[in-house]
Amino acid sequence: MKAIRVSEFGPPSVLKLLDVPTPAPGPGEILVRVKAVGVNPVDTYIRDGAYRKTLTPPYTPGSDAGGVVEAVGADTNLKPGDRVYTSGTTAGGFNGAYAELTVCRVNQVHRLPERLSFAQGAAINVPYATAWRALLQRASGRPGETVLVHGASGGVGTAAVQIARAQGFTVIGTGGSDKGRELVRRNGAHHVVDHKNPKYLEQVLDLTGGKGVDIILEMLSNVNLGKDLGVLAKAGRVVVIGSRGTVEINPRDTMMRDAAIFGMALANASDVEIASIHAALGAAFEQGTLTPVVREELPLAEAARAHERVLEPGAYGKIVLVP
Ligand code: NAP
């Protein structure tokens, strides 16, 4: 079968489409035929070699596939031909989902409702599970609170806006382009602001009548964390989801508000938390309250282009690769 392989860490050009042996599912595993695979920013950090060294080349990237069950080696009610999405693959990604076939543990394979395409299935795992965990598990968000989704036009942001709106939060979302902000509005944000406008955080405060927001889901903490603390309400919480560098904060801004800053990595979620997240997401996808947004589908062979585009400004939902 064909798969993208990374033989050494480096720029996007190290992503090569190669012929590799067809994998088989072992005990407790499921083989999934990949119809589409989601491209996440973390795939680029790992490929670069600058991230936590969790993988050693050669490996195949990717965790988030939409596809069909090909073969089953586990005790499960899934059977060949069932439509599914994945929330990881075996071997920590060595045989990842940027491939025609991928092997998953049984608890990494979830039913994909008929109403969603395979590309939408590939847009579920990292974005939606991260948004759910950040809002409802790390920040312990309560319906009725106000949440600022700081970076609402990208993969995690679109998921966060949809989830927060469906759960009864008042949602303020930010985007850096007209098109991105239109998407944030369509996804259900009550208010949309431009994070490139120098006065946008004043607008956020005005939207809350000066009280501040209860929760901030932060996609670019190295730029925003210091300023975030100034627009938090009393007992407000910031969840650090994304960061690409360091930042200075004034700790007194947390003191004055009894505020809290929570770090989070989806990889730290327990199996119980993950199972609970996918149970909730599955119901919402089936019922139609959540709908993944796919910005563009590229052929698997163009993985390098996808890795460049996912880091460019002007986000609009997910980029997926099609084998
Ligand atoms: P994405 O699809 O590339 O979206 C990036 C978002 O950041 C876009 O909405 C973009 O808006 C926005 N942004 C750009 N400049 C900003 C600014 N100055 N202030 C606020 N937002 C700004 O990426 P993603 O998949 O949503 O992931 C977002 C971040 O979270 C990435 O750094 C990713 O690595 C990280 N992440 C972490 C976890 C975890 O477990 N902690 C899980 C998933 C993702 P415009 O393009 O419209 O300007």
| Ligand 1: residue whose CA is nearest its atom 40 | 265
Token pair 């009393």: residue: 234
How many other C-beta atoms are found inside a 10 Å radius of the C-beta of residue 258?
10
pLDDT per residue as tens digits for the range 98-126: 999 999 999 999 999 999 999 999 999 99
Tokens for 111, please give them.
């039913």
pLDDT per residue as tens digits for the range 293-319: 999 999 999 999 999 999 999 999 999
Ligand 1 centroid – CA 219 distance (Å): 4
Ligand 1 centroid – CA 220 distance (Å): 6
Residue 237 pLDDT more than 70? Answer: yes
pLDDT per residue as tens digits for the range 56-90: 899 999 999 999 999 999 889 999 999 999 999 98
- Asked if 116 and 35 touch (Cβ cutoff 8 Å), the reply is no
Whether 157 lines ligand 1, by a CB cut-off of 6 Å, is yes
Mean pLDDT of the chain: 96
Tokens for 127, please give them.
């974005």
Of the chain, the percentage scoring pLDDT greater than 90 comes to 95
Distance between start and end Cα atoms, the chain: 10
Ligand 1 centroid – CA 275 distance (Å): 24
Q: Which of 157, 92, 104, 150 is nearest to 127 (CA)?
A: 157
Greater confidence (95 vs 27) lies with: 27
- Asked if 150 and 213 touch (Cβ cutoff 8 Å), the reply is no
Residue 274 pLDDT more than 60? Answer: yes
Angle at 260 between CA 255 and CA 265, to 5 degrees: 150
Whether 153 lines ligand 1, by a CB cut-off of 6 Å, is yes
Residue to mutate (ligand 1; options 149, 156, 218, 223; most atoms within 8 A of CB): 156
Integer Cα distance of 160 and 105 in angstroms: 26
Token pair 């999405």: residue: 85
Whether 61 lines ligand 1, by a CB cut-off of 6 Å, is no
Whether 125 lines ligand 1, by a CB cut-off of 6 Å, is no
Whether 315 lines ligand 1, by a CB cut-off of 6 Å, is yes
pLDDT band (50, 70, 90) for residue 55:
confident
pLDDT band (50, 70, 90) for residue 95:
confident
Whether 17 lines ligand 1, by a CB cut-off of 6 Å, is no
Q: Which atom of ligand 1 is nearest to the CA of 224?
A: 19
Packing angle between helix 271-287 and helix 125-132, nearest 10 degrees?
110
Q: Which helix (H) or strand (E) holds 193?
A: strand 191-194
Ligand 1 centroid – CA 218 distance (Å): 8
Region 215-228 average pLDDT: 98
Ligand 1 centroid – CA 94 distance (Å): 25
| pTM reported for the whole predicted model | 0.98
| Ligand 1: residue whose CA is nearest its atom 33 | 242
Residue 92 pLDDT:
56
pLDDT per residue as tens digits for the range 128-154: 999 999 999 999 999 999 999 999 999
Residue 93 pLDDT:
52
| Ligand 1: residue whose CA is nearest its atom 2 | 154
CA torsion 29-31-36-41 (nearest 10°) is: 40
